[in-house]
Copies of this chain bind each other. A is one copy, B any other.
Amino acid sequence: MTAPASPSYAALRKHLRETATLASVGSLLAWDQETYMPAGGAAHRAEQQAMVAALAHQRATDRKVADLLAACESDGAVMADARSAANVREARREYDRATKLPESLVAEFSRTCSLAQEAWKEARQRSDFGHFAPWLEKVMALTRRKAECYGAPPGGELYDAMLDQYEPGMRAAQVEAIFGPLRKRLAALVSRIAAAPRRPGDRLLSLKAPAAQQQAFGEAVLAAMGFDLKAGRLDTTAHPFCESIGPGDTRLTTRYTTDSFLEPLFGTMHEAGHGLYEQGLPKAEHFGEPLADSISLGVHESQSRMWENFVGRSREFWTWALPVARRCLSPLLDQVTVDEIYGAANVVEPSHIRVEADEATYNLHIMLRFGLEREMVAGSLAIKDLPGEWNRRFKDLLGIDVPDDRRGCLQDVHWSFGLVGYFPTYTLGNLYAAQMWEKINADLPGLRAGMARGEFAPLKHWLNEKVHAHGRRYKASELCEVVTGSPLSADPLLRHLEGKLAPLYGL
């Protein structure tokens, strides 16, 4: 598909691409900070990030962009083409948002978060919330200032302005309307499981393997998923993430420090799901434009959760993966069967760490964070009260005590990064993924049988075509309807969980 021959549209695209190129330098600075930067480089890294963020913000809010957008919006040929019209619409949305933030606030936010990350790392290691608290105060104060600049939507709350960054158009009240009933049905499922007549064996969950062997297994799985390791990497960090540095360069991280080889693999597959979305976006042609950008974090998360949970925790996946794992982790799994590993991958058990949680309890972890950050933004929860509130509500939701802040409110990197309003997108992603998975299996009836032979290409191809290729042509709610034929519903996720867990637990 060729772009309309409009000089303004061409100039807009060029400007967007250059701005994204500059901003992508910030992505490398961030990746390096988490992977290889020596501790002594932290203060200077904050200065580098602040400078790049300020320069990128200057370019993004250049008056020239407003002129180009206006010219495109009044150009019939541009707006008659659905793809270029979507490009202009989304670029307008970003410009209007970006011009609401003063440059000084952008730089201050960037610098503060860069330093807050270092404080968080140390606080987490020492399990010392007091060390992080002053930085969280600063991050939350700056978050509120940002939210005030964006402004709450009519009838909405300040938190909505933050959520809108990650899940455009979504509001906290809508999230709560979905989360409320889901919480009840999930809690009911979890308590039926707690009283279940049988349980899958979980002895595999304590099988450890050396990091280098786990890395080799992870890379074998990445290759089978179709993640291009010549256009990407897999490294080790305190908290797994996926960072796109630009076209041809998508980096994943995982960690091998847990008690089991399974959780790190699921972390790797999760990030690779994000990575496949990034590699599937049409960046060669459209880098920097909304047409090569992901729709929302919820949709992004649907990709990671699909590979982690719908593929990685399936019996078919392990039918193929167990022999691969046996070779990579030898002799760890010589006596293990597919049934055992499938059972271990689906143990439901309340636990402390979100990124290691099972599919059923995971969403309860999210609901906890959503409530707490919503109240911190509103000012109804003081920072100093966070650990106590976390621990109290965690006990209510999951029924277990939090032993220390390292396994409590200090476990996630998000708040130190300034990512407030981000958490609910994880559960939205689970819901999108479940709804797409039903449609995928209807479209590809041989998919599951193929997966047992290591054939994941049909799934990757479906996602490339139905989701990735569009960039931000559709909004998340539109994509859901275009792709699955129905608006978002919690039913597919609950059907998936109940359908899988009932036989395993004899419910």
Contacts and interface: CB of A to CB of B under 8 A. Distances in A.
Interface of A: 18, 21-22, 24-25, 28-29, 32, 35-45, 47-48, 51-52, 55, 228-233, 235, 245-249, 251, 287
Given A43-B247, A43-B248, A24 B48 contact: yes
B229 A38 contact: yes
B39 A21 contact: no
B28 A232 contact: no
Nearest to A246: B44
A233 B43 contact: no
Given A25-B29, A44-B24, A38 B230 contact: yes
Contact of A249 (B18, B40, B228, B251): B40
Nearest to A47: B21
A13 to B, nearest CB: 14
Contacts of A229: 38
A36 B252 CA distance: 12
A228 B35 CA distance: 18
Contact of A231 (B25, B28, B38, B232): B38
B249 A21 contact: no
A450 to B, nearest CB: 27
A52 to B, nearest CB: 6
A16 to B, nearest CB: 13
A21 B51 contact: yes
16 contacts: A22-B48, A22-B52, A24-B44, A25-B48, A36-B233, A36-B235, A37-B249, A38-B229, A38-B231, A40-B228, A40-B230, A40-B231, A40-B247, A40-B248, A43-B247, A44-B247
Contact of A41 (B18, B55, B246): B246
B21 A246 contact: no
Given A24-B48, A28-B29, 16 more contacts: A21-B44, A21-B51, A22-B51, A24-B44, A28-B28, A36-B233, A38-B231, A38-B233, A38-B249, A39-B231, A41-B249, A42-B248, A44-B249, A45-B249, A48-B246, A55-B55
Contacts of A48: 21-22, 24-25, 28, 246
Contacts of A18: 51
Please list the 6 inter-chain residue pairs (A to B) with the smallest Cβ-Cβ separation, ordered nearest first.
A41-B249, A40-B231, A40-B248, A44-B246, A41-B248, A44-B247
Given A25-B29, A51-B22, A245 B44 contact: yes
A52 B24 CA distance: 11
B24 A25 contact: no
A36 B36 contact: yes
A45 B50 CA distance: 20
A52 B38 contact: no
A288 to B, nearest CB: 10
A56 to B, nearest CB: 10
A65 to B, nearest CB: 17
A28 B32 contact: yes
Contacts of A24: 44, 48
B246 A38 contact: no
B41 A231 contact: yes
A245 B41 contact: yes
Nearest to A283: B44
A48 B28 CA distance: 10
A24 B48 CA distance: 8
Of listed A43, A48, A228, residue having the most chain B CB within 10 A: A48
A106 to B, nearest CB: 16
A183 to B, nearest CB: 41
A22 B287 CA distance: 23
A51 B56 CA distance: 11
A357 B40 CA distance: 34
Contacts of A29: 25, 28
A102 B231 CA distance: 34
Nearest to A245: B41
Contacts of A233: 36, 38
Contacts of A235: 36
A36 B35 CA distance: 11
Contacts of A246: 41, 44-45, 47-48
A293 B29 CA distance: 23
Nearest to A18: B51
A25 B52 contact: yes
